[in-house]
């Protein structure tokens, strides 16, 4: 028998027995599949995915990345940008799971190459270090968080004499906000002041002087702030040769939550991909609610006409979250918008329960209504965790929090002290940043003043001595400290020189902590709790390959809260969610209550100056409504008591239903009032008496 024929026959038999490859796109609907398969795995025309609330946006984007890898795209040449590091890591895990369905074990090897997945700021920091020499930047730069940037702004303000003005100059945080808004919005300072900070418009010339000095100080100290990570990246892309080289490093660039990008971020994308080929952006113009961070909704609205080759638009309008009644009402609200991509969400989830518009007398009755509704739903089997109360501003929940506490209903409100805002953590990180970059004056001032006897003046003298010396270490060694600091200063110098050598990581952090602990006990009564935070910081540091990477990542993606020793166990692990609408974006709950659905709250009375602001407030209400899966209650208090009067004062105003629910869409809502009017119990028999009160009244004045 011919061996070749036999081998051919056996190969055919094996192929016939092998299971067919699994379709990794089988779970997607038609629109999702069209978005994923756009370009057939090749570098193709720009793609805009308009993804409505609850339409599986994240899932679609993960499938697109996995599909590109399955089709042979090099994962090292894929740039994936999200708005949080957690989202990026979650996306990477999803991509691996999806690719594994087709490629098996090979998928893990390939997805490990997906190293360019992160936030705009983290990607920007990496690229700036890569191109540092080409753009005149020292690659050993450190990154200031918002608080450190405000401190440096304040330091510069004092140095140039703006703290001695006759009238009140804007505070450091306000100055930083103005600077950030001008940079991210790519707008003239006068325009920013006139639109967002009108009370500061008289300081325009002084602010320009301050910002120029602030930039000089940052460059002299080799530090960048958050805004610089985007600004330097954008300026780098303004050079055609660098922009072309940058663009050629990535075949595919994918951006999540594109409606939340600012003008600076949009300019970076168009500079890297001027023809738009290989560019995919995902977002929902109806959920653009972050203009206070300089987000620009026009980025997504204008995207289709940016490039010579028109962008393909795929609309994901099937909602997997809410009932048809809730979607109908939400569509009616957003349908009143002056400009948007045409999109009406639909679902196969049917329900006869329309969203409820509830009229109550005042905020106290509103709190009672929510508590009654929450407890009633709990008795019906809806856990407290599956219910949420949303509001426009954080202070709107005050009366409700009091009532929840009175009724012993556990709740969690989003917020709390940031981990990196705590003094002891900032002290230790400042010590590491100072060793990494001795020109960082904010870090240096903070660290030097930890030692007793060294104040601002002595710290300034020490920094100047380091700057004058040929070597910063020698400058510090030969500096003569004040008499009170002579005991502690030599140990600090020894530590500083050791950290400058970068001997070991994370051993450097342990050495810094051991030096800092005596000062921690001297300055803080709760030193034991704070020491636990520092030990936790060491554990975090062990997961990073270098000090530079640790400092960068911790600044760009800080943890939320500080730790304490574990307390007593929760007796009731179920709790109600309280959240601002901004914080609730991306979340979902079975039952949702929206507080203060009245004009003056939604829209806020601070956001009705311009048409763009009103449109964003409309989108806020839309976001709040689309968080609900089964049940939605919009509560409208009729009476609000005026602030600034006596505690028991009666001055009040009447509120009107929000303008975003006009009369002609009321058919999509059910309406009720609470509490229901009590039945007339009737009157008893009247007394058998006749009194001439008219005569009494006349007699009072005679």
Strand order in the sheet with 252-255: 117-119, 78-82, 252-255, 279-283, 47-51, 312-316
**Which pLDDT value is given to residue 520?**
85
Distance CA 164, CA 280 (A): 51
Task: Indicate if the pLDDT at residue 15 is higher than 50.
Answer: no
Per-residue DSSP letter, 688? S
Q: What is the pLDDT of residues 197-206, one digit of tens each?
A: 888 888 999 9
Taking a C-beta distance cutoff of 8 angstroms, is the pair 672, 372 a contact? no
DSSP conformation letters of 200-262: GGGGHHHHHHHHHHHHHHHHHHTEE-HHHHHHHHHHHHTSHHHHHHHHHH-SEEEESSGGG--
In sequence order, what are the residues at sequence separation of 6 or more whose Cβ sits closer than 8 angstroms to the Cβ of residue 25?
Answer: 33, 36, 37, 63, 67
Task: Indicate if the pLDDT at residue 6 is higher than 50.
Answer: no
Per-residue DSSP letter, 603? T
Prior bond of 603 cis (ω within 30°): yes
Report which of residues 293 and 7 the model is more confident about.
Answer: 293
- Rounded to 10 degrees, the C-alpha dihedral 478/483/485/491 comes to 50
- Grade residue 14 by pLDDT with cuts at 50, 70 and 90: very low
- Give helix 57-70 / helix 30-37 axis angle, nearest 10°: 40
Task: Indicate if the pLDDT at residue 421 is higher than 70.
Answer: no
**Which pLDDT value is given to residue 405?**
85
Taking a C-beta distance cutoff of 8 angstroms, is the pair 542, 507 a contact? no
Distance CA 493, CA 438 (A): 13
**Which pLDDT value is given to residue 395?**
77
Task: Indicate if the pLDDT at residue 608 is higher than 70.
Answer: no
**Which pLDDT value is given to residue 231?**
93
Per-residue DSSP letter, 380? T
Report which of residues 531 and 436 the model is more confident about.
Answer: 436
**Which pLDDT value is given to residue 3?**
41
Owner of token pair 């409505």: 52
CB atoms within 10 A of CB 25: 17
Taking a C-beta distance cutoff of 8 angstroms, is the pair 170, 178 a contact? yes
Q: What size, in residues, is the chain?
A: 702
Instruction: Give the lowest-confidence range in 482-491, 493-502, 628-637, 675-684.
Output: 675-684
Taking a C-beta distance cutoff of 8 angstroms, is the pair 173, 150 a contact? yes
Largest CA distance in the chain: 140
**Tokens standing for 616?**
């964003």
Task: Indicate if the pLDDT at residue 551 is higher than 70.
Answer: yes
**Which pLDDT value is given to residue 89?**
83
Task: Indicate if the pLDDT at residue 343 is higher than 80.
Answer: no
Prior bond of 675 cis (ω within 30°): yes
Prior bond of 506 cis (ω within 30°): yes
Distance CA 689, CA 252 (A): 93
- Grade residue 478 by pLDDT with cuts at 50, 70 and 90: confident
Task: Indicate if the pLDDT at residue 593 is higher than 90.
Answer: yes
Instruction: Give the lowest-confidence range in 72-86, 345-359, 548-562.
Output: 548-562
- Give helix 263-272 / helix 172-184 axis angle, nearest 10°: 30
With H, G, I as helix, E, B as strand and everything else as coil, classify residue 535. helix
With H, G, I as helix, E, B as strand and everything else as coil, classify residue 407. coil
Mean pLDDT of 249-271: 92
Task: Indicate if the pLDDT at residue 355 is higher than 80.
Answer: yes
Task: Indicate if the pLDDT at residue 42 is higher than 50.
Answer: yes
Task: Indicate if the pLDDT at residue 16 is higher than 50.
Answer: no
- Grade residue 607 by pLDDT with cuts at 50, 70 and 90: low
Closest CA to 418 of 582, 562, 528, 530: 562
Distance CA 98, CA 228 (A): 36
Strands 628-641, 652-654: pairing is antiparallel
Distance CA 123, CA 120 (A): 5
- Grade residue 13 by pLDDT with cuts at 50, 70 and 90: very low
H helix or E strand, kind and range, residue 314: strand 312-316
């Amino acid at each position: 028998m011919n061996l070749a024929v036999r081998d051919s026959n056996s190969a055919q038999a094996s192929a016939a027995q092998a299971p067919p490859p699994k379709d990794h796109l089988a779970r997607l609907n038609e629109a999702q599949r069209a978005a994923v398969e756009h370009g057939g795995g090749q570098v193709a025309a720009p793609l805009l995915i308009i993804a409505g609330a609850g339409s599986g946006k994240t899932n679609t984007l993960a499938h697109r990345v996995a599909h590109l890898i399955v089709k042979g795209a090099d994962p090292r040449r894929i740039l994936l940008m999200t708005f949080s590091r957690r989202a990026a890591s979650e996306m990477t895990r999803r991509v691996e799971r999806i690719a594994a369905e087709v490629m098996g074990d090979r998928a893990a090897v390939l997805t490990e190459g997906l190293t360019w997945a992160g936030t705009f700021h983290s990607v920007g920091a990496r690229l700036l270090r890569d191109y540092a020499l080409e753009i005149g930047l020292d690659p050993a730069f450190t990154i200031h968080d918002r608080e450190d940037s405000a401190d440096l702004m304040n330091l510069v303000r004092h140095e140039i004499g703006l703290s001695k003005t006759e009238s009140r100059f804007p505070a450091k945080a306000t100055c930083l906000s103005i600077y950030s808004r001008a940079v991210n919005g790519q707008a003239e300072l006068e325009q920013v002041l006139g639109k967002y900070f009108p009370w500061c418009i008289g300081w325009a010339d002084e602010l320009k002087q301050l910002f120029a000095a602030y930039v000089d100080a940052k460059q002299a100290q080799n530090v960048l702030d958050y805004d610089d990570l985007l600004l330097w990246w954008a300026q780098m892309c303004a050079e055609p040769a660098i922009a072309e080289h940058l663009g050629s490093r990535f075949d595919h660039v994918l951006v999540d939550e594109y409606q939340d990008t600012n003008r600076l971020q949009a300019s970076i994308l168009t500079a890297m991909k001027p023809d738009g080929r290989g560019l995919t952006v995902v977002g929902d113009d109806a959920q653009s609610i972050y203009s206070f961070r300089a987000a620009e909704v026009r980025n997504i609205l204008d995207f289709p006409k940016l490039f010579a080759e028109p962008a393909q638009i795929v609309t994901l309008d099937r909602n997997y979250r809410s009932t048809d009644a809730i979607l109908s009402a939400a569509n009616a609200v957003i349908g009143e918008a002056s400009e948007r991509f045409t999109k009406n969400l639909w679902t196969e989830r049917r329900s006869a329960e329309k969203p409820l518009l509830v009229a109550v007398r005042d905020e106290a009755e509103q709190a009672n209504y929510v508590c009654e509704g929450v407890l009633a739903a709990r008795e019906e089997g809806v856990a407290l965790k599956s219910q949420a109360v949303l509001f426009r501003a954080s202070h709107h929940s005050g009366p409700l929090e009091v009532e929840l506490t009175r009724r012993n209903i556990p709740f969690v409100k989003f917020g709390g002290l940031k981990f990196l805002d705590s003094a002891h953590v900032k002290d230790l990180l400042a010590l590491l940043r100072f060793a990494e970059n001795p020109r960082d004056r904010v870090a240096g001032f903070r660290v030097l003043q930890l030692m007793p006897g060294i104040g601002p003046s002595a710290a300034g003298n020490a920094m100047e001595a380091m700057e004058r010396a040929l070597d910063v270490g020698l400058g510090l060694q030969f500096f003569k400290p004040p008499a009170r600091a002579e005991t502690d200063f030599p140990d600090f110098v020894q530590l500083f020189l050791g950290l400058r050598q970068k001997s070991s990581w994370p051993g450097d952090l342990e050495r810094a902590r051991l030096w800092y602990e005596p000062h921690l006990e001297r300055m803080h009564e709760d030193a034991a709790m704070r020491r636990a935070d520092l030990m936790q910081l060491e554990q975090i540091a062990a997961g990073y390959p270098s000090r530079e990477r640790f400092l960068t990542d911790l600044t760009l993606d800080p943890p939320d809260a500080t730790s304490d020793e574990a307390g007593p166990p929760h007796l009731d692990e179920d709790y109600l969610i309280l959240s601002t609408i901004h914080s609730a974006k991306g979340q979902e709950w079975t039952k949702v209550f929206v507080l203060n659905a009245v004009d003056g709250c939604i829209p806020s009375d601070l956001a009705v100056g311009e048409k763009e602001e009103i449109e964003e407030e409309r989108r806020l209400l839309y976001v709040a409504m689309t968080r609900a899966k089964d049940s939605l209650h919009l509560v409208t208090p009729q009476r609000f008591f005026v602030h600034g009067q006596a505690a028991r004062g009666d001055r009040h105003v009447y509120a009107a239903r929000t303008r975003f629910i006009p009369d002609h869409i009321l058919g999509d809502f059910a309406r009720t009032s609470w509490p229901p009017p009590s039945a007339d119990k009737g009157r008893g028999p009247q007394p058998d008496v006749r009194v001439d009160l008219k005569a009494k009244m006349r007699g009072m004045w005679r």
